Chain A
Amino acid sequence: MTQNKPCIERDEVKKLAHISQLAPTEAEIGEAATVLDARLSYITILQDLVADKSQQQPDQVVAHNVMRDDVVKVTDADSILALAPQSEAHYFVVPVIIKQNS
């Protein structure tokens, strides 16, 4: 009996972690690949259903955009800045970006 190719490989998990802004260890990448593969294997059933029903697609759901009046409201900047991990003089503080790229 041949073993099915996994839905997802370690290298793909690494790439996904990068675009997800996550930094798992090598061991965690291996574990994630195993768990994600099991989950992706389950959801392949959707492909069969869509293929079967491709001739009978329902109408697209029409979504209506909801607008509200564009009213200027006073925002309490202090209460928002109070939640920042680091702030200074009404600014969010982040690491120096230009230095990082130079």
Chain B
Amino acid sequence: MNNLAFASIKDVRALLDQKKISADELLDFYLARFARYDNDLGSALEIFDKKSIQEQARQGGLLQGIPGLIKDNICMQGRRLGCASKVLETYKAPYNATAIERLMDAGSLLIGRANMDEFAMGSSTETSAYQMTRNPWNRDCVPGGSSGGAIAAVAAGLIPFALGSETGGSVRQPASLCGIVGSKPTYGLVSRFGLVAYSSSMDQIGVATRTVYDNALVLSAMAGNDPRDGTSVTGKKFDFTKDLNGKIPAGLKIGVIDNAVYAEGINPDVAQALDDAIKQLEKLGATIQHIKLPTMEYSAATYFVVSRAEAASNLARFDGIRYGARSKQAQTLDEVYAMSRTEGFGDEVKLRILLGNYVLSVGHADQYYNNAKKVQQMMRAEFLAAFEGVDLLFAPVAAAGAFPFNAFQDNAVHMDLQDYFTCAANLVGIPAVSVPCGFTKNNLPIGFQLLGPDLSEGLIFQVLHAYEQQTPWHTQHPEAFKENA
């Protein structure tokens, strides 16, 4: 049954269409996988009962009968929604996110809630208030974050796809550390209606899958205008699978961001894998140009300020009045606010709120927040100028493979720098997709990412699909989760 555990959505669809397996058997299969492996892996906060999953099934198309796992910050009507935080311990979503509506309309069966860093604040899924999620390739290591539960489940063959969310790299970084495909769409391509806000100028729902085709397929099902999200793109229908023919367009130019790919601190195994990937893209017919994007070196600091500022504002709504946990000790209104938030939020969330209010406060806003917004504009200008000379950009996702639990316990800045290579795409608003491209000597996955101008997802997927067809990485899966293990 390994073939089914790690089968692509495309292959599973074929099995369903040929009636070699029924949707019911398929659902049983994945539920059994979770029951068998997830006590140890810790990817899901909740797996729904079979009956309730089936009751919500709709007749659709693109994803008919295909199960998916949803990050715990995306609303599914009537289901718990917690953002892996105690502050939302009692909350049930009163409506579906638009992305969820579209997946359900496409026929997908949504089977549970994935673990995550609390309110998506972290790069290791260690800030979840509930449980740790392990990396399927080495269970002493983190899966990355913040969408670590969603990504680990896909990498371990427990589910064919999962939804995560991206603010600074929260799908691509864990996807890279777990050896799967992770996408961050153009800002506005997927509606954020029903996605709990962290940093609204950057938040986007992203997709985790084991193949490029699958990622393009799931994104196609969700993409398009939504009047309930003011940042939504105007296009209604997208099909990102149509050009996935194993070839790249003639004359394609890829800009290798030298100051990222050859940055100080890149692990030698990662450097080698990136070099090999560049050569493979060249072999496929791409013209490689080496370029420098100096503002990228400031992206982590910029992201740091903008995301904390917006988080402080967005999380002000969790006050113990309308929903969420209320402190039982509180007597006065001020105590309800302060004690509910103090008891409900974890340490990392509290630190980000404090820092966000600091960079927004009178006397500091010019020095920090306003400067960060200026740098963000410079970055967008620099990236758009680069796309006048090249079609896509090539960059690392992470400087090294997955790291052990508590590795950065005493070095918070080091943990923050996990976003170093990914957050530029979020700040600039452009799409970026990461794919696996090798392993470290310790058998930990390595990935690279391609970035493109606004709404270039189709081209990015086309090139990465061609790369994938010529490389073995997407066919390799963690031994511990194979059925005979």
A residues contacting B by CB (< 8 A) are 8, 12-13, 16-17, 19-24, 32, 35-36, 38-40, 42-43, 45-47, 49-50, 53, 57-58, 60-61, 65-66, 68, 76, 79-80, 82-86, 92, 94-95, 97, 100
Contact A36 B355 (CB under 8 A): yes
Min CB distance A76 to B, Å, is 8
Minimum C-beta distance from A85 to chain B (A): 4
Taking the nearest CB of chain A, how far is it from the CB of B349, in angstroms?
10
How many cross-chain pairs have Cβ atoms below 8 Å apart between A and B? Answer: 136
B residues within 8 Å of A by Cβ?
90-92, 94, 227-228, 230-232, 295, 298, 301-302, 304-305, 312, 316, 319-326, 330-339, 341-342, 345, 350-351, 353-355, 357-358, 361, 367-368, 371-372, 374-375, 377-378, 380-381, 412-413, 416
Q: Are B322 and A38 in contact (CB under 8 A)?
A: no
User: Assuming A16-B357, A42-B301, A57-B374, is B339 touching A23 (CB within 8 A)?
Assistant: yes
Among A12, A16, A43, A53, which residue has the most Cβ atoms of chain B within 10 A?
A43
CB–CB B368/A24 < 8 A: no
- State the Cβ distance, A49 to closest chain B Cβ, in Å: 5
Complex contact A84–B358 (CB within 8 A): no
Question: Which residues on B sit within 8 Å (CB–CB) of A50?
Answer: 371, 374-375
Complex Cα spacing A38 to B325, Å = 31
Q: Which of B298, B333, B355 has the most CB of A within 10 A?
A: B355
Q: How far is the CA of A32 from the CA of B351 in the complex (A)?
A: 7
Q: Is the CB of B298 within 8 A of A45?
A: yes
Q: Is the CB of A84 within 8 A of B323?
A: yes
**Closest chain A CB from B82 CB (angstroms):** 13
Contacts of A65 in B (CB 8 A): 230
Given A85-B325, A94-B333, A95-B332, also A39-B355 (CB < 8 A): yes
CB-contact partner of A53 in B332, B354, B378, under 8 A: B378
Given the known inter-chain contacts A46-B301, A100-B333, please indicate yes or no for A83 contacting B377, CB distance below 8 A: no
Q: How far is the CB of A81 from chain B (nearest CB, A)?
A: 9
Partner of B368, one of A23, A46, A68, A92: A46
**A17-B354, A36-B358, A46-B302 given; A22·B338 CB < 8 A:** yes
The residue from A19, A43, A61, A83 contacting B322, defined by CB atoms under 8 A apart: A83
Determine whether the beta carbon of B332 is less than 8 Å from that of A100: yes
Q: Which of B304, B319, B324, B377 contacts A58 (CB 8 A)?
A: B377
